[in-house]
């Protein structure tokens, strides 16, 4: 379903101010791979680079577009197969376990102990950062996906109240269309359709349904109720209000439509907040961030993390470089600056809300509450809910339905089959 779109390879080599060690020997180089290419994402990568350079590390980056879960992953696989693994790579969700299972990843337990990661990282995220009880990835943020990003001027023009329930949302979209606006902007990729689906599913079925069906992959969660049928019915309603971008555009092109007043709203992760910030937009003035109706109290998370390849650095010196960079990634000040740029929040519960914008402040509070109430749940679309093969099978069904290629009934039947087939595989992937 995902088209292959090689948008380029950028290798940047930047020398930090303190890059040359006092001894005159060149400072160690860290070779980083990431999929952050949009303006907000580049600003975010710059924050990490600055903090790494301040620790005397030379920064080299390979940046390949790909929205995280699929295209970038293919390129990374190729590099590793060719013996060109980066020292550290951005990664999300269950992909971490898949890499760990292949025995590719360095353990980060020493740094984790020293910086007390166990005490500060939300449990749902720790579950992904650890494999068989060991820290194998450092989480740098917590995005959430169950947001509506609304153009404030168009919203004011409609004179509507913030939608609290599903029915309110449908009324708002209908009102927008009647006023000649594009109600809902969405990009072409399967992960974007799935991201819409997960908010609809969490809203229609509630947190327990979402957890049992998509995280625990319990086929019983789908039996004896028609929640899934209702979810696909709602997806069909949303499809009727959506204007899909042509296949060559990306999620941030839909964000641009909302930013430029060409569409009322987009359902996307909080990286949209980073895009708006990069264009100097302000929440409350230029846009609104509203929780997707009926998912208030839930935090469907997507945590960007960094994993470290064993083969990339050897010996004591290599281990020290790895530890230095891992410490940078988990540093509270670095994560605060980073996430103000990214639109996410730190992957830590001990963070002050003060310097974040309105959306970030709400996200910090929402995450703390959700962490205690077990409503902090992984995003299906971003691979934080279940292993890559299950996620990909879900993408295929959800996207085919969103594109009108299969009926509601077919979608229910196929997704039920995906979940029924998934469970034993998930247990293996989780190392249980
Ligand atoms: C996700 C990533 C976000 C953002 C988004 C869109 O995979 O976690 O930080 O980059 O893709 O590119």
Token pair recorded at residue 7: 């948008």
Q: How confident is the model over 353-358, as a mean pLDDT?
A: 96
CA of 216 to the centre of ligand 1 (A): 24
At 70 the pLDDT is: 63
Does the pLDDT value for residue 9 go beyond 80? Answer: no
CA-nearest residue for atom 3, ligand 1, is 271
Does the pLDDT value for residue 20 go beyond 50? Answer: no
At 96 the pLDDT is: 96
Rounded distance between C-alpha atoms, residue 91 and residue 79, angstroms: 15
Q: Is the CB of 302 under 6 A from ligand 1?
A: yes
> Which tens digit of pLDDT belongs to each residue from 215-237?
999 999 998 879 999 999 999 99
Q: Is the CB of 273 under 6 A from ligand 1?
A: no
Q: Is the CB of 195 under 6 A from ligand 1?
A: no
Q: Is the CB of 339 under 6 A from ligand 1?
A: no
At 423 the pLDDT is: 73
CA of 184 to the centre of ligand 1 (A): 20
CA-nearest residue for atom 7, ligand 1, is 68
Q: Is the CB of 328 under 6 A from ligand 1?
A: no
In which band, very low, low, confident or very high, does the pLDDT at 426 lie, cut at 50, 70 and 90? low
Q: Is the CB of 371 under 6 A from ligand 1?
A: no
Rounded distance between C-alpha atoms, residue 373 and residue 93, angstroms: 21
> Which tens digit of pLDDT belongs to each residue from 131-165?
999 999 999 999 999 999 999 999 999 999 999 99
At 24 the pLDDT is: 63
Is-same-fold flag (9-143+301-363; 144-300+379-429)? yes
At 11 the pLDDT is: 37
Fold of 9-143+301-363: D-Maltodextrin-Binding Protein; domain 2 (3.40.190)
> Which tens digit of pLDDT belongs to each residue from 230-266?
999 999 999 999 987 777 677 889 999 999 999 999 9
Rg (C-alpha) for the chain, rounded Å, is 21
Q: Mean pLDDT of all residues in the chain? A: 90
Domains of the chain by residue range = 9-143+301-363, 144-300+379-429
In which band, very low, low, confident or very high, does the pLDDT at 107 lie, cut at 50, 70 and 90? very high
Sign of the CA dihedral running 354, 356, 376, 138: negative
At 248 the pLDDT is: 67
At 6 the pLDDT is: 33
CB contact at 8 A, 324 and 88:
no
Atom of ligand 1 nearest to the CA of 303: 8
Q: What is the CATH number of domain 144-300+379-429?
A: 3.40.190.10
At 15 the pLDDT is: 35
> Which tens digit of pLDDT belongs to each residue from 358-387?
999 999 999 999 999 999 999 999 999 999
> Which tens digit of pLDDT belongs to each residue from 184-199?
999 988 999 999 999 9
Kind and range of the H or E element at 97? helix 95-101
- 288 vs 7, higher pLDDT: 288
CA of 273 to the centre of ligand 1 (A): 12
> Which tens digit of pLDDT belongs to each residue from 42-100?
999 999 999 999 999 999 999 997 655 667 888 999 999 999 999 999 999 999 999 99
Does the pLDDT value for residue 318 go beyond 70? Answer: yes
Instruction: Please return the burial class of 77, using the count of CB atoms within 10 Å of its CB with bins 0-12, 13-18 and 19+.
Output: exposed
CB contact at 8 A, 90 and 379:
no
């Amino acid at each position: 379903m995902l088209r292959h779109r090689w948008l380029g390879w950028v290798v940047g080599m930047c020398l930090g101010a303190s890059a040359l060690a006092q001894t005159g020997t060149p400072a160690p180089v860290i070779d980083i791979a990431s999929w952050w290419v949009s303006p907000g994402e580049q600003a975010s990568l710059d924050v990490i680079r600055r903090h790494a350079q301040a620790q005397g590390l030379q920064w080299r980056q390979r940046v390949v577009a790909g929205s995280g879960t699929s295209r970038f992953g293919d390129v990374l696989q190729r590099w590793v197969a060719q013996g060109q693994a980066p020292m550290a790579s951005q990664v999300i969700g269950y992909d971490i376990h898949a890499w760990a299972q292949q025995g590719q990843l360095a353990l980060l337990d020493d740094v984790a102990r020293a910086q007390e990661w166990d005490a500060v990282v939300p449990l749902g995220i720790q579950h992904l950062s650890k494999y068989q009880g060991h820290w194998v990835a450092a989480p740098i943020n917590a995005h959430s996906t169950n947001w509506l990003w609304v153009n404030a001027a168009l919203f004011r023009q409609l004179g509507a109240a913030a939608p609290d329930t599903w029915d309110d949302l449908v009324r708002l979209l209908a009102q927008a269309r009647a006023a000649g606006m594009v109600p809902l902007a969405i990009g072409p990729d399967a992960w974007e359709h799935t991201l819409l689906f997960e908010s609809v599913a969490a809203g229609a079925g509630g947190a327990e349904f979402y957890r049992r069906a998509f995280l625990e992959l319990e086929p019983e969660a789908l039996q004896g109720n028609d929640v899934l049928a209702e979810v696909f019915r709602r997806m069909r309603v949303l499809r009727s209000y959506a204007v899909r971008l042509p296949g060559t555009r990306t999620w941030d092109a839909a964000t641009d439509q909302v930013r430029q007043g060409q569409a009322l709203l987009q359902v996307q992760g909080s990286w949209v907040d980073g895009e708006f910030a990069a264009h100097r937009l302000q929440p409350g003035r230029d846009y609104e961030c509203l929780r997707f109706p009926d998912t208030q109290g839930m935090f469907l998370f997507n945590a960007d993390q960094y994993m470290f390849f064993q083969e990339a650095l050897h010996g004591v010196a290599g281990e020290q470089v790895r530890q230095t960079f891992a410490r940078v990634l988990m540093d509270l000040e670095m994560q605060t600056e980073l996430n103000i740029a990214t639109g996410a929040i730190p992957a830590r519960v001990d963070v002050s809300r003060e310097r974040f914008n309105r959306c970030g402040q709400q996200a910090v509070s929402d995450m703390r509450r959700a962490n205690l109430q077990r409503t902090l749940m992984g995003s299906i679309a971003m691979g934080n809910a279940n292993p890559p093969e299950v996620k990909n099978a879900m993408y295929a069904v959800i996207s085919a339905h969103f594109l009108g290629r299969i009926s509601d009934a077919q979608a229910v039947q196929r997704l039920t089959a995906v979940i029924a087939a998934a469970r034993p595989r998930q247990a293996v992937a989780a190392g249980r």
